[in-house]
Amino acid sequence: MDATLPTDPSLCPLCHRPNGCAMAAGLPPESCWCMNVTVSDQALAALPSSEIGTRCICRQCGVVGNAPGPGSAKDHPSI
Ligand SMILES: [Zn+2]
């Protein structure tokens, strides 16, 4: 039996929920939520090295530890 699951670029590697990545949805990278927030170093450090640069984490995991600020991604088109 092959236990290897396909890597779904639309799922967060930390919590396995939809990451809302614009690129995974076929939208321009600049429209992704991650371009409008600072992804926490803590979240990046929690990623296995094999996942870095492979797929996005979700917003909830990415902004952990970051206080929400005014004017943050309120006009995101796809979430
Ligand atoms: Zn997540």
Segment 5-64, tens digit of pLDDT:
567 889 999 999 999 988 888 899 888 888 888 888 888 888 888 888 888 889 889 886
Q: Would you state the pLDDT for residue 70?
A: 54
Find the helix or strand (DSSP H, E) in which 41 lies.
Answer: helix 41-46
User: What three-state secondary structure class fits 61?
Assistant: helix
Look at 78 and 44; give whichever has higher pLDDT. 44
Distance between Cα 45 and ligand 1 center (Å)? 13
Distance between Cα 71 and ligand 1 center (Å)? 22
Distance between Cα 61 and ligand 1 center (Å)? 4
Distance between Cα 22 and ligand 1 center (Å)? 15
Distance between Cα 30 and ligand 1 center (Å)? 20
CA-CA distance, 7 to 68, in Å (whole number)? Answer: 30
Q: Would you state the pLDDT for residue 53?
A: 81
CA-CA distance, 63 to 34, in Å (whole number)? Answer: 9
CA-CA distance, 46 to 71, in Å (whole number)? Answer: 27
